[in-house]
Structures are given as C-alpha cells and as structure tokens.
C-alpha cells in the first residue's frame, strides 16, 4: 500500500487507471471516443494529413543533408590527384566515399585521403586492403543490417 504522504487521491488513481490504453482493443477505444462525441473519421483524416506533411518535411531535410554530404565528399575526392589506370579501385573507393559501406568506412576513407597530398594506385590498394583485411567492411555491413 502507498504511504499516506505520497498517496494519490482516489480520483487521480481512477483517472490514471482509466487513461492507460494498454491492452484495450482498438474497437473499444474507438467506440469510447465516439461516446465522447469525438469524430473519429475526422480524426483519422487529420492524422493522415499530419503524417503526410510531417513525412514530406522530414524527407526534404534528409535530402538537403544528403546533398550537402555528397558535395563535401565529392570535393575531397576531386581535390586529390588520383593516378590513372586504377579504375576498379577508384570505383571501389568512390563507393566507400558514397557511404555504400557505411558511415564508419566513409569517415575512415575521408580521414585517409586528408592525410595524403596525392594518391597513387598503391595508396588506393593499401586503403582497400586495410579495410578488407580488418574485415571492417563486412562488420560494418552486418552492423548496418
């Protein structure tokens, strides 16, 4: 039993007990709302609208952030002098920079590029090997899944 000092009043207990929607079937909740003269059809439409607008706004923010990130990475990539004849590795590194291998791999690659003034095929091989040998890509993919 609750001690007297902290005890809730009868009405507070009653309202709190009744307010908890857990374990109530939706039909009963809906029927109760109708009894309370709540227009449930209108409520459904309002909710759909809020979710639609909210989703659109969030997607816009997400797209803006993604574009900014892509531009930033592209600049880093373009600022480095990538040696010719290493097309496959370049493609692979590009994928890493695009974030296809996860954010940690992306950050790792970005940090790696910042260290170097120019990049040779060997540098690219080294980067890819480092990441593959450490099983980093696999672990990251697993984490992301």
Partner 1 sequence: MENDTVLKLLEAADWNDIIFRLTHYAFWRASRYTWRPGKSDQLLGGKTPEDIACEAMKKVWNGTRDWDPDKYPDLLKHLMWIVDSDMEHLYSSMEHKKTGNLPKFRPDDDSPADFSEIPSDPSSPVHAYSPTPEEDLVNREEKALEEKLKKKLYDLVMGDEDLEMLLLCFEEGIDKPEIIAAETGWDVSKVYNLKRKLLRKAKKINRIFLQGD
Binding-site ranges for partner 1 (CB under 8 A) = 1-2, 6-24, 26, 28-30, 32-33, 35-36, 38, 40, 43-44, 46-48, 50-51, 53-55, 57-59, 61-62, 65
Which strand (E) or helix (H) includes residue 16? Answer: helix 10-19
**Nearest-approach distance from CB 87 to partner 1, in angstroms:** 31
Helix, strand, or coil (residue 119)? strand
Q: Which is nearer to partner 1, 13 or 134 (by Cβ)?
A: 13
Q: Looking at beta carbons only, is 29 or 116 nearer to partner 1?
A: 29
CA distance 77 to 62: 22
User: What residues are paired with 119 via a beta bridge?
Assistant: 82
Q: Residue 95: CB partners within 8 Å, gap ≥ 6?
A: 101
Question: CB of 112: closest distance to partner 1 in angstroms?
Answer: 23
CB of 108 to partner 1, least distance (A): 18
């Amino acid at each position: 039993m609750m001690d007297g000092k902290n005890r809730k009043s009868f009405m507070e207990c009653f309202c709190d007990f009744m307010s908890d929607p857990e374990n109530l079937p939706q039909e009963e909740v809906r029927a109760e709302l109708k009894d309370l003269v709540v227009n449930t059809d209108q409520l459904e439409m309002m909710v759909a609208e809020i979710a639609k607008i909210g989703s659109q706004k969030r997607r816009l923010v997400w797209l803006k952030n993604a574009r900014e990130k892509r531009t930033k990475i592209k600049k880093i990539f373009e600022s480095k002098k990538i040696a010719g004849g290493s097309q496959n590795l370049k493609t692979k590194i590009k994928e890493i920079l695009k974030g296809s291998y996860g954010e940690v791999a992306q950050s790792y690659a970005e940090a790696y590029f910042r260290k170097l003034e120019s990049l040779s095929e060997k540098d690219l091989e080294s980067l890819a090997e480092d990441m593959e040998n450490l099983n980093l890509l696999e672990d990251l993919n697993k984490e992301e899944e």
